[in-house]
Amino acid sequence: MKQAIGVFCSAAEGIDRRYFEEAAALGRWMADNGVSLVYGGASMGLMEEIARSVKEHGGHVVGVVPTKLRERGAVSEYIDDTIYCNNLSERKDIMLEQSNLLVALPGGIGTLDEVFHTMGSATIGYHRKKVVLYNASGFWDECLAMLQKLDSDGFIRGGLDDFVLAASSPDELGDILRREG
């Protein structure tokens, strides 16, 4: 399989611009390193920003597009290959199947759902892929602290790093992809 990273992230527009800059930098790194983007297909927020950056730097974009996104006319124009699905549950499963590694940029409830769905399905053996919390600007610090507490208190079967890792730069992510992907 060609290297592909599934990216979970926000579709919100009114968030701090630094998150858009981080998404663009990650997209540029992915394109420069021949890593395809697999993402939720939206034409908004960080989703659109990373897709735009990957495309503008000559990379490949796979959009996994649920019905509601199509109905709202909110599908990105930066997609090379579109995989249509019925709902968000199918989208998560398809993104997982199509990706070597999953990365979470800043996001809200939907991103948290994607992160925990991926981790939860790994804990019971559906796959061995990890989620990397892309922690530039410290966005994931509190979540990582909570997960570390769950781990230290014995609530995580195996070890936390069996399911989730953190990276703060494209280079750190590249190291993880070489090890894990």
CB 77 within 8 A of CB 43: yes
User: Which residues, in sequence order, are CB contacts of 32 under 8 Å at separation 6+?
Assistant: 57, 59
Q: What is the mean pLDDT of the chain?
A: 94
Query: Can you give the pLDDT at residue 126?
Result: 92
State the burial class of residue 73 (Cβ atoms within 10 Å of its Cβ: 0-12, 13-18, 19+). exposed
For domain 4-180, give the fold.
Answer: Rossmann fold (3.40.50)
Whether 136 shows a pLDDT value over 90: the answer reads: no
DSSP reduced 3-state for 171: helix
Q: How confident is the model at residue 158 (pLDDT cuts 50, 70, 90)?
A: confident
For the chain, the domains span: 4-180
Give the largest Cα separation in the chain, rounded.
46
If phi > 0 it is left, if psi is from -120 to 50 it is alpha, else beta; for residue 156 that is beta
The DSSP annotation for 76-131 comes to -S--SEEEEESSHHHHHHHHHHH-SEEEE-S--HHHHHHHHHHHHHHHTTS----E
Q: How confident is the model at residue 1 (pLDDT cuts 50, 70, 90)?
A: very low
Residue with tokens 């420069």: 32
The DSSP annotation for 138-153 comes to GTTHHHHHHHHHHHHT
Q: Give residue-wise pLDDT tens across range 88-128.
A: 999 999 999 999 999 999 999 999 999 999 999 999 999 99
Query: Can you give the pLDDT at residue 141?
Result: 97
- Window from 20-24, 55-59, 66-70 with minimum mean pLDDT: 66-70
- 69 vs 31 pLDDT, higher one: 31
Whether 13 shows a pLDDT value over 70: the answer reads: yes
Query: Can you give the pLDDT at residue 178?
Result: 85
Q: Give residue-wise pLDDT tens across range 159-178.
A: 899 999 999 999 999 898 88
Helices 170-180 and 17-32, axial angle in degrees (round to 10): 50
Percent of the chain with pLDDT over 70: 99
